[in-house]
Amino acid sequence: MALLEVKDLKTYFATGDGIVKAVDGVSFSIDPGQTLGIVGESGSGKSVTCLTIMGLNPKRNTISSGEAFFKGKDLLKTSQQQLREIRGNDIAMIFQDPMTSLNPVHTIGHQLMEAVLLHNDVPKQQARARALELLKQVGIPRAEGRIDDYPHQFSGGMRQRVMIAMALINNPDLLIADEPTTALDVTTQAQILDLIVKLQQEYGSAVIMITHDLGVVAEIADEVIVMYAAEIAERGHVDRIFNNPRHPYTWGLMGSLPRLNADVERLVQIEGQPPSLLRPPKGCRFHPRCAYAMDVCRTVDPVLAPVPGEPDHLQACHLDAETKTREAERLLGAFATEASAS
């Protein structure tokens, strides 16, 4: 049975200008121990999807619908009281910016122990021991001496390690990592990713990795969701997404990945800006930026349908299968030539 099963999730925000459809009918599931990568541009609804599952959207002006079954319980219909018991215990979250995600007036020991004590009826000594154990596991040097330090005494990478320790301290079944490496420098990024993968194996947690970096997804994900303008554009096994991408937006994302061996003058970029979610384009939301747009794309919103011969690989695009196969092969072929040329 799936650990988390999300069906037709919608999150709308009522603003002064109208209703912003931040997530518009997203479905996916994740099995225990699995890693799901959610990729997309800023504002495509990746983070809001996860915040909705956690029940962390601001209560006021937010309308959510759909289902999110976690271990058989619909999180969208669970009371705040019960959600609190799940948050930080069964589902934990790591945020994007470690510089602002820790409370500046409490020691990191205090903040780690708080996470333990909120969900376990244990003496403080034991909570502290557990906090220390986690700090060592995430690789904080001289953890004994640093547990009583304040967040401002740590670097960004070290703070993200503390955040990871805090997320894993209650041994969660599901870890949601919301762009955990975006705010870090490149060498630290790799270390933090390795750490998440290592600890995921140790703890057996499922991981949802939200990122805009396809490289990260290729490295650690089992399943991939590509989101565009609040909807899923393509969904499938990491292998299939990278070897047989079926959506022009995915092609665009892959084309804009920098490659060291590439002989091209400049990166391929997706023309234009992501659409406003206040008034999304009619038809396929990607059509104003799509090089393959046809008349039907401007009027009919494509449904998420399986790729012929691949029942677990879904995509939402009107383009005919032959053109897609041809274009995907051309793209992959270009990569291959680059690779062989170097």
Partner 1 sequence: MIQYLIRRLIWAVALLLVVTMIGFVLFYLVPANPAKQACGKACTPEMIARVAHYLGTDRPWYIQYVRFVGRLMPVSFHGGPHFKTPNLGKSFVSNQTVNRIVVNAAPETASLVLGGVVLWMLIALPVGILSALRPRSLLDRTTMTGVLIGVSTHPLFLGLVLLYFFTNKLHWFPIGGYANFWHPAYGEPSGPLQWAYHLILPWFTFAVLFMAIYVRMIRANVMETMNEDYVRTARAKGAPESLVMRSHILRNALLPVVTMLGMDIGVALGGAVFTESIYGLHGLGWWTIWGLNNFDSPTVLGVLVFATTMIIVFNLFVDLLYAWIDPRIRLA
Which residues in this chain contact partner 1 in the complex, by CB under 8 A? Answer: 54, 56, 84-89, 92-93, 95, 97, 100-107, 114-115, 118-119, 150, 152, 163, 166
CB of 80 to partner 1, least distance (A): 8
Q: Are 324 and 305 in contact (CB under 8 A)?
A: no
CB of 84 to partner 1, least distance (A): 5
Q: Are 48 and 23 in contact (CB under 8 A)?
A: yes
- Cα separations in angstroms, 139 against 153, 176, 193, 203: 16, 20, 13, 16
User: Which is closer to partner 1, CB of 166 or CB of 241?
Assistant: 166
Q: How far apart are CA 88 and CA 54, in angstroms?
A: 10
Q: How far apart are CA 320 and CA 73, in angstroms?
A: 39
Q: b/e string for 33-46 if b means 16 or more Cβ within 10 A?
A: ebbbbbbbbebbbb
Identity of the amino acid at 36: L
User: Which is closer to partner 1, CB of 209 or CB of 241?
Assistant: 209
DSSP alpha helix (H) spans, 232-278: 238-243, 248-255
Closest among 165, 222, 164, 218 to 32, alpha carbons compared: 222
CB of 326 to partner 1, least distance (A): 45
CB of 328 to partner 1, least distance (A): 38
Q: How far apart are CA 231 and CA 311, in angstroms?
A: 19
User: Which is closer to partner 1, CB of 87 or CB of 240?
Assistant: 87
Q: How far apart are CA 91 and CA 76, in angstroms?
A: 14
User: Which is closer to partner 1, CB of 67 or CB of 114?
Assistant: 114
CB of 331 to partner 1, least distance (A): 38
CB of 101 to partner 1, least distance (A): 4
Count other Cβ atoms within 10 Å, centred on residue 118. 14
- Cα separations in angstroms, 149 against 183, 192, 237, 299, 318: 22, 21, 42, 58, 56
User: Which is closer to partner 1, CB of 105 or CB of 303?
Assistant: 105
User: Which is closer to partner 1, CB of 45 or CB of 55?
Assistant: 55
